[in-house]
Amino acid sequence: MVWVLTGFLFNLKYRYDEAYESLKAAPAEGQPAGWVSPAEAVAKSGLDPAAVRGVSLLHDNRVYVYVLATGKPEAPELRLASAVDGSPMAPLDAAGAQAALASALKSSLNARNFGPVSSATQTTAPSPLLGGVETPAWQLALASGQTVTVNAYTAEMAHTGRLNTAIDWTYRFHYMQYTPWKSFNIGLVITFSVLLLTLVGSGLRILIGKRRKRSFGYGTRPRLRF
C-alpha cells in the first residue's frame, strides 16, 4: 500500500515546483554594454597568464564576472574579476550572499514561502559550474526552516527544507531504501516479494478453486468461484 500511495504522489507531484525550484541570482540593472577580454582581467588581477588554466564567465547579483582558476584541477585557486572593466572582485561575503538570494527571490513564484534569513554560516559546497570542486559558500538558515547554500564565487544556490525531506522519504520508501544498509534492504525486498507471491498465489487459488455444485441432470461440475 505504501508503494502504491507513493507512486500516486509521484504522479501528483504536490509542491514539487517549490521544492525543486532553481534559484539564480539576477545581475544588477543598468550593466554597461562593454566587456573586457579575459586576458585583460588576468593582467589586472596580477596573475601569470601561463598559470591560468580555466576562465568562466558567470554573474552574481553585482555584475558579470570572470572566474579565473589556477593551481591543481582537484584543488583550484580561484579569483574573481569584473567582466566589465577587469578589476579584481572579492567573493561574496555573508551580506553579499543574502543580497544574491534576495535578487533571486524577486522572480520566484514561491518567494513568500522562504522567509527572512535568521543566520549565515560559512561552509564549503561543490560547484557544478566549476566541475564539482569544493569552493567556499554561505549556508543561510531561514525563518521558514529552509536552508539556502550560496556559492561565494559562482553565486550558485541550492535550497532544502522539510518539504524536500518529506519528498526524499517518499522516494526511499517507493524504491525500498528503508535503511542505510543495502544488504538489509535487499533482504527486506526478497521477503516482501515472497509474501507478495504468496498472496497472489492464494488469490489465484481462490479464483480457480473448484466448488462442486449438484445440478439437476448434470451431476457435478467445476465452477469458478469469485
Give the residue, 210 or 146, on which the prediction is more confident. Answer: 146
Helix (H, G, I), strand (E, B) or coil at 19: helix
d(CA 28, CA 82): 13
Q: Per-residue pLDDT tens for 74-95?
A: 888 999 999 999 999 999 999 9
- What is the pTM (predicted TM-score) of this model? 0.76
Which triple of cell numbers denotes residue 50? 601561463
The CATH architecture annotation of domain 25-90 reads Roll (3.10)
The conformation of residue 91, written as its DSSP 8-state character, comes to P
Q: Per-residue pLDDT tens for 152-208?
A: 999 999 999 999 999 999 998 888 888 889 899 899 889 988 998 999 999 888 888
Which residues, 6 or more positions from 113, have their beta carbon under 8 angstroms from its beta carbon?
18, 144, 146
**Residue-level pLDDT at 220:** 54
Give the residue, 31 or 217, on which the prediction is more confident. Answer: 31
Burial call 114-148: b when 16+ CB within 10 Å, e when fewer: beebeebeeeebbbebbeebebebbbbebeeebbb
d(CA 170, CA 202): 29
Do 154 and 129 form a contact (C-beta atoms < 8 A)? yes
Q: Is the pLDDT of residue 215 over 50?
A: no
CA proximity to 23, closest of 172, 166, 150, 128: 150
